[in-house]
Structure 1
């Protein structure tokens, strides 16, 4: 068989996003605080933008005013939109508006901005994933695992369910998880406490058979049953004390190091109020909406007196950027309002009855209902909150997977489990099986193992531990 080289000319279509379209997508997922900071920077940079209505007696701008504004913008450096860029290969959201051919803004932040922003656990792990592998399938699975970690760094989704949802082999999901578990901070990506501690001990070369046995019997550690621990581990009292001391030096929640302390009150981006006829009125919170306008009078006056080509180019650039920003902010507001209205429609019973009435709802179901891409819905609900008569909740709160026969939200079931345990008497502590039977009587079909999983997620001790706490002390 002869090998030969040849040149071929082919035509094909590809999706290319302009810098403006990329920035429009990123604006959609910013929180109101991040958006306010970005708009404030643009007001400083762009002389054609103004906050609110211009006063009637505003002075006519001069060429000197314009040149000073230009020098200030040049000193500010390249334009930056905070937040992660779109995932490679991800579809363009339907709500992002039309892209223009004019490219504005440098997407790479300056070093000072990088240092000023606190790195999240997701960003920290994503950076390591980018360096750890070039396998596209492994990176996709790894990204989904990273985004499904809770704030403590634990995997929240069953690996088999994740593999089925991504349509990959379970072995590939396991390989991706092992890769994540090799990242810093040590212990991240674990499915339970024993695995988290085991990862840290393995990295320190301290995971011997006795320590493995100890990790498998952490319930005895919680009960301080040292006699039983010495027996199952096959160690004496001194060795057990050393092993327990080493366990105490480990970090049970490695992800919390990347969780900033809560300093701000959750401010709603959307307000939901009950109308006189019993329906619900959904509106954007005016306090979180930036109010900026394009000052066309300023543009017309300066355009008459500017002479140099570089000044004309800067003025044209300011006009296009200001026009894009005002359109993008308007489109962002409409998209958030549209998504919020659909959330209220699908979760109407929650607004009437509370958490117990939450229905299963996914990003896909909302996207299909309003004709948008699922990635758009994901960006809208990120960093947004909804103010209701039942308190302020993150938008993500209203999304929950189905449990049992698919008629009940997992969050509603967890809420019901918490209610049942809170109402139990010391003389009649409910086992997981008894809770499952009570839920069945309420029309909620869940298995005992599901009850145990939800109870552990709520940080509620087992029935044996609760019964022991109720016993009178000798």
Structure 2
């Protein structure tokens, strides 16, 4: 065996993740809003990129045409778009959007004057006051309620310790020791603050919070106190046990439970609750004029950029050194790759979305009961892509449909086999059916998990009892025993 050095020539293939390829993969799995933020950064960094501010020729320009049918374009709108001449003074195409037409002879609303056509301008009293947060709202009540500096100092400390839900878990003795005052004074201040708006703040636990609200409504009595002392029975829906503890009949218990349901267990949470985030769709879907559906990208969030080739030519000619020419060439390559990646991303999203809509046509026409089982492999084989590509396309994407806005991942559900070799059913459709069965129950006919299994098998769904229990827990539906206790006493 020779140990002398030697040179060998070998051929091999390997996949190299270039920065451009990583960028394209990242853009593919990002939403339109995330891509827009990335494009804004590139516009600031690359002088060869510019926004595509050309007017969209129409709402149907970016839709997919295969396999979904396309709506015909209006002939007079297309003729007006190709014409270079301006229309006559009093003429306008029939499809003109009058909300976007400016009349020079009429002063625009909002640029001055009042909406009721009065001469004087609106005063400062007509302006809306800024919304206050919870602590500002409580702070105003502290200044109006307490006059002595000691009480205001204690109230300010309690205000700093309260959590967003309205709880004050720190005991009065600890607060008094920290402030160097008597515990009775802290307790008195806290009890007065519990009647602030919203009522029920600064309480140590749920029982005290509900008790303060009942006292404020003059509805706190010994029976209600016994109910608050046994909230764990109410959580288990053991209404018969609560009747024995409280010493009331079924009708009184129903009224007491209804009274509790009208209370707010977290009075501070709803005050500063942030607005629900809006799910901005990346894909829009609507009915075609004849049959089928039209799928298009959302033009409001779709980033569009162009490569400024004129500036690239001038910069290349004006470059004096090799480093400057290399920098311009690199910027041009980066800009061209970004434009190409965005075009490929848009085409891929449209293909995958169109295939999902085609396969889930029954859902869009008849509802969730007709949702079909679908996996990534089914779509990938149809559009000629890899499963990982389809997974990236459907991540962080939403589609606006006539039935609402859904994430693309919503339409991928596992299949549950049918009985006697029948057609498979989507797991989401089965969950919807279980929920409908439970909602249709009566006090005399509460379905157990076994009864739900029997009904589903009669409808052609081969499902196990443990699967029904898993779906029921996912839907936050209590067991049949708890539902019986709840329905035994109508509340």
TM superposition score category, shorter chain reference: 0.5 to 0.7
Paired positions, count:
275
Give the SS at the match of 1:287.
Answer: coil
> 1:45–1:433: structure 2 CA closer, same or farther, 3 Å change rule?
same
Q: 1:355 and 1:224 mapped to 2: Cα distance? A: 31
| Larger Rg, first or second structure (1 or 2) | 2
Which residue is equivalent to 2:295?
Answer: 282
Give 1:452's match in structure 2, choosing from 469, 472, 476.
Answer: 469
Tell me how far apart the structure 1 counterparts of residues 325 and 275 of structure 2 sit (CA, whole Å). Answer: 46
1:352 match = 365
Tell me how far apart the structure 2 counterparts of residues 379 and 54 of structure 1 sit (CA, whole Å): 29
In 2, the alpha carbon distance for the partners of 1:298 and 1:443 equals 67
Question: 5 Å matches for 1:37-436?
Answer: 37-53=37-53, 223=236, 264-405=277-418, 407-436=424-453
Partner of 2:203: none
Alpha-carbon distance, 1:222 to partner: 6.1
Whether the 8 Å contact between 1:355 and 1:412 is mirrored in structure 2 is: yes
* CA drift at 1:336: 0.3
- Between the aligned partners of 1:325 and 1:273, the Cα distance in structure 2 is 30
Give the secondary-structure state (helix, strand or coil) at the position aligned to 2:285: strand
Structure 2: gaps (5+ residues): 56-231, 239-273
Q: C-alpha displacement at 1:372, in angstroms?
A: 0.4
Change (3 A) 1:53 1:300: farther
Structure 2 residue aligned with 1:212: none
User: Alpha-carbon deviation of 1:53?
Assistant: 3.8
Change (3 A) 1:220 1:372: farther
CA distance in 1, matches of 2:326, 2:275: 44
CA, structure 1 residues 30+5, in 2 after alignment: closer, same or farther (shift >3 Å)?
Answer: farther
- Quick one: distance in 2 between partners of 1:388 and 1:5? 71
**How much has 1:54 moved relative to structure 2?**
7.9
Partners of 2:281 and 2:298 within 8 A in 1: yes
| Mapped contact 1:53–1:293 kept (Cα < 8 A) | no
1:421 CA drift (Å): 0.6
Note the alpha carbon deviations across 1:363-384, whole angstroms, 9 max, x for none: 1111111110000001000000
**1:32 aligned residue:** 32
Distance 1:458 1:300, change over 3 A: same
Q: CA RMSD for the aligned pairs? A: 2.8
Q: How many Å apart are 1:306 and its aligned residue?
A: 2.2
- What SS does structure 2 have at the residue aligned with 1:426? coil
Q: Per-residue displacement from partner, 1:182-237 (whole Å, max 9, x unpaired)?
A: xxxxxxxxxxxxxxxxxxxxxxxxxxxxxxxxxxxxx9996499xxxxxxxxxxxx
Distance 1:329 1:309 in 2: 30
Corresponding residue number in structure 2 for 1:75: none
Equivalent pair of 1:50/1:293 in contact (CA under 8 Å): yes
Q: Give the deviation of 1:402 after TM superposition.
A: 0.5
Q: CA deviation at 1:5?
A: 11
Q: Distance in 1 between matches of 2:275 and 2:4?
A: 62
Is 1:464 paired with 2:477? no
1-structure distance, mates of 2:318, 2:5: 58
CA gap 1:222/1:48 in 2 versus in 1, 3 angstroms: same
> Residue 17 of structure 2 aligns with which residue?
17
Instruction: Name the structure 2 match of 1:207.
Output: none
Instruction: Report if the CA contact (8 A) 2:284-2:401 is conserved.
Output: yes
Unaligned runs of 5+ in 1: 56-218, 226-260
Q: So what's the TM-score if we normalise by structure 2?
A: 0.52
- State the distance in 2 between where 1:387 and 1:356 align: 19
How far 1:6 moved relative to its partner?
A: 9.1
